[in-house]
Structure 1
Amino acid sequence: MLNLKINSVLVYSELSDKYFFTEFGENLNIIYGKNTAGKSTLIQLVLYAFGINDNKLKLTEILSEEIFVRLDCTLRKDGISQNYVFVRQDETLIIRDNNEKTIKFNGIGSDQSAEHIKLKKFFNDLFDFNLMLESTSGISEAPMETIFLPYYVSQDVGWVYLRKSFSNLNFYKNFKEDFLDYYLGIENSEDRKEKREIETLIKSLQQQISFFNKIETDNEELEVSQIIEDSFSGKSNEFIDNFSSNKSKLLELENKQIKESNNLAFLNQRLSVVSKVNRNHKNQKPGTDSCPTCSQTLPKSIEDMYEYFQEENDTSKIQSELKEKIKKSQASINSINKKISSLKEELESETRIYNKYSVDNLTFESWINNKANIQLNNNITSQVGRLSLTLEEQKEKLSEFKTDSEILSERSKKSKIFKDYYKSNNAFLGLPELKESRFNDLYDISSFPFQGVQLHLAVLSYHFAFNRLLTDSSGIHRIPFILDSIFKEDIEQGTKNKILKFINSHHPKDTQTILSIADDKNVDSKIETYSSEFFNKEAKMICIGEGVREKSLLIDNDGEQKTLIENSFELLENEN
């Protein structure tokens, strides 16, 4: 279980040099003051400090004073307590963890900005939060507001409509079901997404298998092809073996032909060169012919004459050898060509014979043409086998998820527990008993058949019952239970007393509870009575504007929080 506790909040305006500071108690915290003093503003600033933008419009006036908000919190996770500091100024949020490490997010003013998306991921990791919601663009991570939604009832619409304390959440498809399933530990939307993908894949696999089976069953050509295959299997193998052997021989002969032709070309080229050398040599006799370079008569000596006649003899010998080699090479090529021609005729003859061969009017040519159908048939069989294996794998994966009936059964169990809590709360608050399931079943409730004060009490009863139900959900984060403006203006004193008594006896014991109450010390103030008679002076009382002033959240800087203010600026000005 993960539990967040707010230790203190500091709001400071450098523009006006004004501030607000308070510490929060372990359990009940009562924020009180005159109407419009700034109670709701303080609560909204707490949410704002965590990076929530939904309520920025309501904070326009105080944000214009160029404030920063600082929250000092303790997060207990896996039995270990860690201190965190959150400081927000405009679109910048600084977070300092237990190890004095700071993280800065710049530009979080829009929920669609890259920095706000990074901040959302930070909170998801911090709170082990992985709610997924479905929109027209697909399934994606839920907005940050859903982390706080179960624990916050806003002053305006929160006391009239369920799950409306933040706006635009009904934009998501099946939001109520996904939201309740996640917080009650029944099913996560992420699991539902994967489950749907597997179900879609299984349906597709089944359709493909059915399609291939139908082709195999209904296509007569495939059956005929198989008959032809069986009839010609022996003879075809004989033909293919002979044809393959002869083809190999033909290829070998053609390779020899190419090599011998290349050799013949080389010999002819060499003979041509030697012939040219011989002709030139006859015009270079010593003592008679001239040097081809300088035109002088070549020297005549016994050595020169010997060398001349020796070269002449060598050239003649080479010419004779080359002519003999050319003769043999040409004979070899002629022999190879004859064999190639004979083998080609044999292949053509065999092909004609096998094409004419028939069994029961089924010819070998028909068998060749039907080979495509045989391959198609084999491919279909192979494909069906592969698809069947994949189908079994996906069915095995699907079995790991809860079935629809199992989910409905778990919802029913949770709804029964909720109904017991809810009926008990209603009885305590004096609400009429509601018999219809749409007013008692957790997954059916969307409104209440009440108006005015009774509607206010019904919503109060619902939220306390749901908060108690969350204590039974393992792995769900717990954060302060914030109820803004627990009294409607037209609630008479007896009902107010009943509400306070109910809150004192039913508020969660594992988290903080933060309430705001309108109380004017100059006009029939009851706050001291509330503190002593209903809360036994154990609640932390936080006064705004001394209980007499309007729009008085910030007070003149008296220097008491100088150190904390300076430390906050150091965090904001840290370049890292």
Structure 2
Amino acid sequence: MNDVILTEILISDFQEKTARKFYFNEGINIITSSENHVGKSSLIKSIYYTLGAEVNFDDSWNKLSKIYSVKFRLGNQNYQVVRYTKKFAVLQNENLLLLTDDVSHELAKKLEEIFDFGIYLPNKNNQKVELAPPVFSYMPYYIDQDLGWSEIYNSFNNLGQYKKDDRLKSLYYHLGIYNKKTIKLMSDKDIVNQELKKLESESEKIQTVIETLSSEINNIVPASNIEELERNLTISKNKIDELVKVVALKRNEIQKLEGLSQGHKFQLALIEKKEKISINEKSVKNEFLCPICGYRLNNEIFKIVEINHGLITKKYATEQISFQISKLEEDLKNKKIEYISLMKNLKKEEDLSIDDKSNYENYLTQRGLEKTINSLNIKYDNNLTQRNELVEKIKDINKELKDLPTKENVESIYKDFVIQNLLSLGAWESSYEEKIGILKPIKAQGTLLNKIILAQEVALFQTIENLDLKITKFPFVIDSPRGNEASKLSSYEILKLIINIDSLKQIIISTVDFENYRKDLNYTGKIEITFLNDKRKLLNEKMYEENVSEIESLFELFSENRDS
């Protein structure tokens, strides 16, 4: 069984020392009176307030001075939720499961586990899908006297953390279109789609790079092999090294000859300044140093002249020195010719070396590009494989989603029930035909408003029953369904529609003068009726005394765990 059945509610005011306990049965529960202001609405509001929703209590009702306890049955398990201000205790068979003041997370999670039902909605601020507070599980199951009859599904407070359209989409969970599995599948699908888009973008980039590199590699002349290039480079380098050595030697020879030639020219200039040069032992020993610059005169020239003539004359010295200069100039000329030739050969070898290096670099570039392209092709193939796997995942998810009720089918069933209910209430108009939709409720004003709201909410339950959904259902709690009805017939039609909802195991109705309609309703099932007569005396001292032990234990529950 997936129906939550309320069994009991206890409300106690610790300041006034008053309390009230009500018992509920499976089926139809009527809370009635002969007049208003006896506490029917406060009792009705307290049910889902205790279970974690926020409602609009009357100003005279001090909710903060009261402790609330609701007991319910789900399957063969008994549960209890206790609320004191913003603190909650959840018990199973009198064993404490949770004590918290966190409704949106801790209480919501625990009740989701108990009910095996939860609603996930995108937060308005960050669009992150999250488990919604418990109130959204109760939203279609409660019609408030003050708020619920002015706009459909408008009976609870503090729903603003979600957009109105998303709040209405919570109805899809009650209709089996969405559920925890659906949300996980849809979330998984979104993640897979994001991964797929990322891979597709990456694939496009890889293709662009491959095309660019392929174009680049086509402009490079391929080399034969790396070994040949390296060998040519080594040979070229050795040739250049040898030529550099020869060029250096040749340059040294030239520099030496130029030095000798300059020396002889200096001697010649010196001789021309003197009439006669005598040579003796002292001058020979001193190697004919120039007294001005310290240059050594060529000793050999003076020795030759001395042997042949014994006397050095200016004319003879001049002839000999000029001859030496002429011979040196001839040698110097030849050496320079050789040097120029060597430099040309060196330049040629260097140019050849540069070409080899260029080929070598081209080869390396080509080899590098080919390696890169091969690597990118492998990456592209892996990318393609991953994309194909993700596409298959999406197909599998879509197949699972396809097995769930489709929106189109559900909408069609729902629409038929809305029309049927409006007809039974005498509120049908042909203009509603195109306006009926789960997420776009019919809007109306005036005397038909109650009937139109009720027709749509009841159609929701009828659709759930028609689809045979194994989904958790909650008690349908309705406060003052006849509030705006001027005629007894209209009141009768409304009550008849409500008590004949076969799809729900428990219905709780608060209404005035129910006994005036009971006989005409011809309802054969059991109806549990509670009469309230004392004005503004829903809670009383006598009930407090009868339940003081339980009330005190509930207060102790929060007191003992205050620091936990």
Q: TM-score, normalised to structure 1's length?
A: 0.68
Paired with 1:529 and 1:58, the residues of 2 have a C-alpha distance of 28
8 A Cα contact 2:142 2:155, kept in partner: yes
SS of residue paired to 1:30: strand
8 A Cα contact 2:50 2:81, kept in partner: yes
1:478 has 2:480 as partner: no
SS of residue paired to 2:398: coil
Pair 1:82–1:533, CA change in 2 (3 A) = same
Larger displacement relative to structure 2 (197-206 or 456-465): 197-206
SS of residue paired to 1:58: coil
**Residue in structure 2 matched with residue 302 of structure 1 by the alignment:** none
**Residue in structure 1 matched with residue 23 of structure 2 by the alignment:** 23
Paired with 1:154 and 1:89, the residues of 2 have a C-alpha distance of 22
Shift of residue 437, structure 1, vs aligned partner: 4.9
**Residue in structure 2 matched with residue 222 of structure 1 by the alignment:** 214
Paired with 2:230 and 2:432, the residues of 1 have a C-alpha distance of 82
- From 377, 380, 384, the counterpart of 1:381: 377
Q: Could you report, residue by residue, the CA deviation over 1:315-367 in whole angstroms, capped at 9, with x for unpaired residues? A: xxxxxxxxxxxxxxxxxxxxxxxxxxxxxxxxxxxx99887449xxx712212
1:469 has 2:463 as partner: yes
Shift of residue 24, structure 1, vs aligned partner: 0.7
SS of residue paired to 1:208: helix
Pair 1:533–1:381, CA change in 2 (3 A) = same
8 A Cα contact 1:41 1:59, kept in partner: yes
Shift of residue 411, structure 1, vs aligned partner: 0.9
Pair 1:84–1:227, CA change in 2 (3 A) = same
Q: How many residues align?
A: 438
Pair 1:389–1:355, CA change in 2 (3 A) = farther
Paired with 1:446 and 1:226, the residues of 2 have a C-alpha distance of 67
Shift of residue 515, structure 1, vs aligned partner: 0.9
Larger displacement relative to structure 2 (434-443 or 460-469): 434-443
Alignment of 1:315-354 (within 5 A): none
8 A Cα contact 2:12 2:20, kept in partner: yes
**Residue in structure 1 matched with residue 490 of structure 2 by the alignment:** 495
SS of residue paired to 2:477: strand
Paired with 2:367 and 2:379, the residues of 1 have a C-alpha distance of 18
**Residue in structure 1 matched with residue 291 of structure 2 by the alignment:** none
Paired with 1:408 and 1:47, the residues of 2 have a C-alpha distance of 30
**Residue in structure 1 matched with residue 14 of structure 2 by the alignment:** 14
Shift of residue 388, structure 1, vs aligned partner: 1.1
Shift of residue 60, structure 1, vs aligned partner: 6.0
Paired with 1:539 and 1:468, the residues of 2 have a C-alpha distance of 21
SS of residue paired to 2:16: coil
Aligned residue type for 2:370: I
8 A Cα contact 1:434 1:440, kept in partner: no
Aligned residue type for 1:366: N
8 A Cα contact 1:184 1:473, kept in partner: no
**Residue in structure 2 matched with residue 49 of structure 1 by the alignment:** 50
**Residue in structure 2 matched with residue 68 of structure 1 by the alignment:** 67
Paired with 2:463 and 2:217, the residues of 1 have a C-alpha distance of 68
The structure with more radius of gyration: 2
CA RMSD of superposed structures (Å): 3.4
SS of residue paired to 1:400: helix
Pair 1:240–1:477, CA change in 2 (3 A) = farther
Q: Could you report, residue by residue, the CA deviation over 1:267-323 in whole angstroms, capped at 9, with x for unpaired residues? A: xxxxxxxxxxxxxxxxxxxxxxxxxxxxxxxxxxxxxxxxxxxxxxxxxxxxxxxxx
**Residue in structure 1 matched with residue 172 of structure 2 by the alignment:** 181
8 A Cα contact 2:447 2:484, kept in partner: no
Shift of residue 93, structure 1, vs aligned partner: 1.8
1:432 has 2:428 as partner: yes
Alignment of 1:73-472 (within 5 A): 73-76=72-75, 81-98=76-93, 100-108=94-102, 111=103, 116-134=104-122, 135-137=124-126, 138-167=128-157, 169=159, 171-173=161-163, 174-175=165-166, 178-187=169-178, 188-217=182-211, 219=212, 221-225=213-217, 228=220, 231-232=222-223, 235-236=225-226, 356-357=355-356, 363-402=359-398, 410-434=406-430, 437-443=433-439, 445-448=440-443, 450-471=444-465, 472=467
**Residue in structure 2 matched with residue 561 of structure 1 by the alignment:** 547
Aligned residue type for 2:493: K
SS of residue paired to 2:546: coil
SS of residue paired to 2:83: strand
Shift of residue 440, structure 1, vs aligned partner: 2.2
Pair 1:376–1:36, CA change in 2 (3 A) = farther
Paired with 1:201 and 1:473, the residues of 2 have a C-alpha distance of 37
Paired with 2:161 and 2:85, the residues of 1 have a C-alpha distance of 27
8 A Cα contact 1:354 1:364, kept in partner: no
Shift of residue 224, structure 1, vs aligned partner: 4.2
Paired with 1:123 and 1:570, the residues of 2 have a C-alpha distance of 23
8 A Cα contact 2:121 2:132, kept in partner: yes
SS of residue paired to 2:20: strand
Aligned residue type for 1:468: Q
1:527 has 2:511 as partner: no
Shift of residue 11, structure 1, vs aligned partner: 0.9
Shift of residue 123, structure 1, vs aligned partner: 0.9
Q: Could you report, residue by residue, the CA deviation over 1:138-162 in whole angstroms, capped at 9, with x for unpaired residues? A: 2211222111112112223322322
- List alignment gaps of at least 5 residues for structure 1: 244-350, 520-525
1:552 has 2:537 as partner: yes
Shift of residue 466, structure 1, vs aligned partner: 0.3
8 A Cα contact 1:161 1:447, kept in partner: no
Pair 1:65–1:399, CA change in 2 (3 A) = closer
Paired with 1:430 and 1:379, the residues of 2 have a C-alpha distance of 75
Larger displacement relative to structure 2 (468-477 or 424-433): 468-477
Aligned residue type for 2:16: S
Shift of residue 216, structure 1, vs aligned partner: 2.1
8 A Cα contact 1:154 1:484, kept in partner: yes
Q: TM-score, normalised to structure 2's length?
A: 0.69
Shift of residue 171, structure 1, vs aligned partner: 4.9
Pair 1:204–1:147, CA change in 2 (3 A) = same
- Percent identity (aligned): 22
8 A Cα contact 1:239 1:354, kept in partner: no
Paired with 2:361 and 2:156, the residues of 1 have a C-alpha distance of 77
